[in-house]
């Protein structure tokens, strides 16, 4: 998975001008995309999810902006959990939902406990 994300990021670099902001185009993009794919964030909400998460790491964001972004992110996560209950996938949120719904299921995460 990470290899395909890195390949996509490299392909998107601007070869025409030869100028690129590696922090924005590569260093921030790669971990963010790995995280959303591991979580199973649907493509349809990806821009909203990444936008809200980005505000949480923006040191220039006001407390009101952080509060709004936090609420938006929690709402999106709640929608994901509801969706994964109906149609689980091969992702971390689905695994956690399965554990919550079926506590006898072995946890795929070392040393986890769901109560």
How do residues 1-23 score in pLDDT, each as one tens digit? 778 877 877 777 766 667 777 88
SS3 of the chain: CHHHHHHHHHHHCCCCCCCCCHHHHHHCHHHHHHHHHHHCCCHHHHHHHHHHHHHHCCCCCCHHHHHHHHHHHHHHHHHHHHHHHHCCCCCHHHHHHHHHHCCCCCCCCCCCCCC
How do residues 43-96 score in pLDDT, each as one tens digit? 899 999 999 999 998 999 999 999 999 999 999 999 999 999 999 999 999 988
Residue 114 has pLDDT above 60, yes or no: no
């Amino acid at each position: 998975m990470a290899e395909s994300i890195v390949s996509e990021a490299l392909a998107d670099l601007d070869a025409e001008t030869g100028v690129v902001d590696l922090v924005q185009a590569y260093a921030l993009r790669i971990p963010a995309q790995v995280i959303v794919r591991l979580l199973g964030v649907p493509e349809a909400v990806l821009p909203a999810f990444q936008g809200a998460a980005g505000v949480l790491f923006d040191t220039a964001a006001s407390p009101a902006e952080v509060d709004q972004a936090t609420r938006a992110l929690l709402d999106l996560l709640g929608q994901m959990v509801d969706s994964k209950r109906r149609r689980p996938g091969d992702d971390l949120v689905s695994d956690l939902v399965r554990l919550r719904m079926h506590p006898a299921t072995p946890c795929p995460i070392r040393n986890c406990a769901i109560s």
